[in-house]
Structure 1
Amino acid sequence: MTNNDIFKKLRVAHKLRDEDIVNIMKLVDFRISKSELNAMFRREDHPKYMECGDQILRNFLNALIIHLRGPMPKKGEKKQPKKKSND
């Protein structure tokens, strides 16, 4: 299984659009364009196919964790409990 396959499966599993992925990648200060993403999601035999490198996948995974869980608290800080709304 290639990095591209993993990236595609995560995209589908989390129902992410290109814009969502671009914004998620910004959480770890990694800039990627929609056209670069589309190139990674193409079939391998397509002329504009681009291989997803380890750095891109690593940054996406780290950003996805922040997106889903929130930023990691700094040492010495306690995580703030979520407030319940009384609506």
Structure 2
Amino acid sequence: MTNNDILKKLRVALMLRDTDIEAIMSLVDFKISTSELGAFFRTEDHPKYMECGDQILRNFLNGLIIYTRGTKEAPKKPEDALLHKPVMAKAKMANATSQPKIDTVSFKNTPAKNRLDQTTYKKKASFKDGPKKPFKKG
């Protein structure tokens, strides 16, 4: 599916006219003429067909978001986002490389019968001890 197909399908699904698409593109400060829009919606074998580039589709989609949702009241500045990301990444890495904290439990004041360290475990049979039953050949 090409960018032209995506643009055509969105135009039909959202019932947009050329003037609506121009208004949507102007929301992201991207100017496009009606003749350029008409070239995107032509068939591929038409002599005035023009392929819709990635930037045009990206700007249309960003404008469509603003058109449907509205603008953000307090948008983030790109500089602020760039400044905080490396700091947060370094902080996360520093926390990940530090020694893990292990909670220790003191058994000094607990009775011996309630202690967890008194649990006995059965030893699993292993071949190091030798087989329990002799094998019969035959």
Task: Please indicate, yes or no, whether the TM-score normalized by the shorter chain is above 0.5.
Answer: yes
Q: Distance in 2 between matches of 1:33 and 1:9?
A: 20
Q: Which amino acid aligns with 1:30?
A: F
Partners of 2:24 and 2:40 lie apart in 1 by: 16
Structure 1 residues not aligned, in runs of 5+: 77-87
Higher relative contact order (CA 8 A, sep 6+): 1
Counterpart of 2:61? 61
Alignment size in residue pairs: 76
Classify 1:55/1:74 alpha carbon distance in 2 versus 1 (closer, same or farther; 3 Å): same
- In our comparison, the structure showing a higher alpha carbon Rg is 2
Corresponding residue for residue 4 of structure 1? 4
Percent identity for Structure 1 against Structure 2: 72
Query: Which consecutive residues of structure 2, in runs of 5 or more, have no partner in the other structure?
Result: 77-138
Any idea what the Cα deviations from partners look like across 1:8-33, whole Å, max 9, x if unmatched? 00000100000110011100000000
**For residue 40 of structure 1, what is the aligned residue in structure 2?**
40
TM-score (norm 1): 0.84
Please identify, of 29-38 and 66-75, the stretch whose mean Cα deviation from structure 2 is larger. Answer: 66-75
Per the alignment, residue 18 of structure 2 pairs with 18
Q: Which amino acid aligns with 2:12?
A: V
Deviation at 1:73?
2.6
TM-score by length of 2: 0.53
Structure 1 moving runs of 4+ over 6 Å: none
* TM-aligned CA deviation for residue 60 of structure 1: 0.1
Q: CA RMSD in A?
A: 1.2
Residue 71 of structure 1 corresponds to 71
Deviation of residue 74 (structure 1)?
A: 1.5
- The equivalent residue for 2:133 is none
Q: For 1:75 and 1:22, how far apart are their aligned partners in 2?
A: 24
